[in-house]
Amino acid sequence: MKAKILDGKKTAQDIRNEIKAEVDQLRSRGLRPPHLVAILVGDNPASHTYVRGKMRACAEVGFDSTNKHLPASTTEQELLGWVKTYNEDPLVDGILVQMPLPEHIVPQNITKTIVPHKDADGFHPLNVGLMTLNFPGILSATPAGIMELIDRYEIPTKGKHVVIAGRSRIVGRPISILMSRGGQPGEATVTICHRYTPPELLKQMCLQADIVIVAVGKPGLITADMIKEDAVVIDVGINRIEAPEKKSGYRLVGDVDFDAVAEKASYITPVPGGVGPMTVAMLLSNTLHSYKRSHG
């Protein structure tokens, strides 16, 4: 394999160690640790796995955590009630509501109700606005994780062409802003492709890209013939595909044809072990940031 691995698992561990050192300091000064609340509605198995991972990460760094599991029949009003309870609780620093939500709940209504300074995911319109205008604030966790990974591997972005596949509120759109705004990483020329980009145009764009970021949710979307020699490839896709030989019955793959693309790229993120653990690390980082803000 030619490409070097952008090791999100290891980098996220480094970040968790840094956060733990800060939490140990707080405890040694007699202060309470930061507290993250995760609200999970319904029984999506992948969501359960993600929330368990987030709670495990909290325990590892010494955060308090609450895993609030609500039934799939929970109404939007009831969920908003829980969000408001945690908004007002001075012992809660970060709140996240795991997506996707059941169809009868409008996710934007929930996102905009979390008080912006406890918005651990960085999805609130105020935080996205602050990010867009380059004010300090809470960054969307997955895009922040990608930026952190690129920064720690010292991958240059200034003047580079970044092509993003996917325009979601939680990955594609915010990473396009972070990559194009000032600072390092940043200062890039950005192209966003999405569901209405004809496949031939997506290929043309990717072939011109120095950095390709894919967050679509389609295994095998990005193939080696779409990637320029020595490009950097960041795969945000997490897809469960059937694998009868595995105990769980499935395995995880991204949106990139990893083996073939790794023969052309200079750097590539694996799935799992790439962007996923970075998202969780940034969630902790956002919660610590909120805690520090409320503790002066």
CB atoms within 10 A of CB 27: 12
Query: Cα(31)–Cα(210) distance, rounded to whole angstroms?
Result: 46
Query: Of 84, 108, 104, which is closest to residue 95 (Cα–Cα)?
Result: 84
If binding is defined by CB under 6 A, does position 98 make contact with ligand GUN? Answer: yes
Site string for ligand GUN, 105-144 (x = CB under 6 A): ----------------x-------------------xx--
Least separation in angstroms between CB 38 and ligand GUN: 8
Pairing, β 35-41 against β 94-97 = parallel
Closest C-alpha among 113, 164, 168, 159 to residue 140: 168
* CB-nearer residue toward ligand GUN: 132 or 168: 168
Min dist CB 263 to ligand GUN, Å, is 29
Task: Strands of 18-167 (E only): list them.
Answer: 35-41, 64-70, 94-97, 161-165
- At residue 256, φ and ψ (nearest 5 deg) are -110, 140
Residue 98 or 191: the one with the smaller Cβ distance to ligand GUN is 98
User: From the list 11, 111, 176, 279, which residue makes contact with ligand GUN (rule: CB under 6 A)?
Assistant: 279
Instruction: Return the range that interacts with ligand GUN (CB under 6 A); candidates 97-105, 173-181, 187-195, 254-262.
Output: 97-105
DSSP 225: G
**208 counts as catalytic:** no
| Angle formed at CA 66 by CA 63 and CA 71, multiple of 5 degrees | 155
Nearest distance in Å: CB 144, ligand GUN: 10
Q: How far is the CB of 47 from ligand GUN (least distance, A)?
A: 7
Shortest CB 100 distance to ligand GUN, Å: 7
Query: Which residue has its beta carbon closest to ligand GUN?
Result: 99
Residue 96 contacts ligand GUN per CB under 6 A: yes
Query: Does the protein bind ligand GUN through residue 55 (CB under 6 A)?
Result: no
The answer to whether residues 21 and 285 touch, using CB atoms and an 8 Å cutoff, is: no
Pairing, β 232-235 against β 4-5: unpaired
Measured distance CA(201)–CA(193) in Å, rounded: 9
Q: What is the closest distance, in whole angstroms, from the C-beta atom of residue 281 to ligand GUN in the complex? A: 12
Q: Which helix (H) or strand (E) holds 5?
A: strand 4-5
Known catalytic residue at 184: no
- Please report whether residue 285 would count as binding ligand GUN according to CB under 6 A: no
Distance CA 84, CA 138 (A): 19
Question: CA 22, CA 205: separation in Å to the nearest integer?
Answer: 43
Any catalytic annotation for residue 77?
no
Q: Which is nearer to ligand GUN, 19 or 110 (CB)?
A: 110
Q: Which of 7, 93, 119, 121 is catalytic?
A: 121
Residues within window 139-178 making contact with ligand GUN, judged by CB under 6 A = 141-142, 170
Contact residues: ligand GUN, CB under 6 A? 96-99, 121, 141-142, 170, 279
Catalytic residue positions?
A: 54, 98, 121
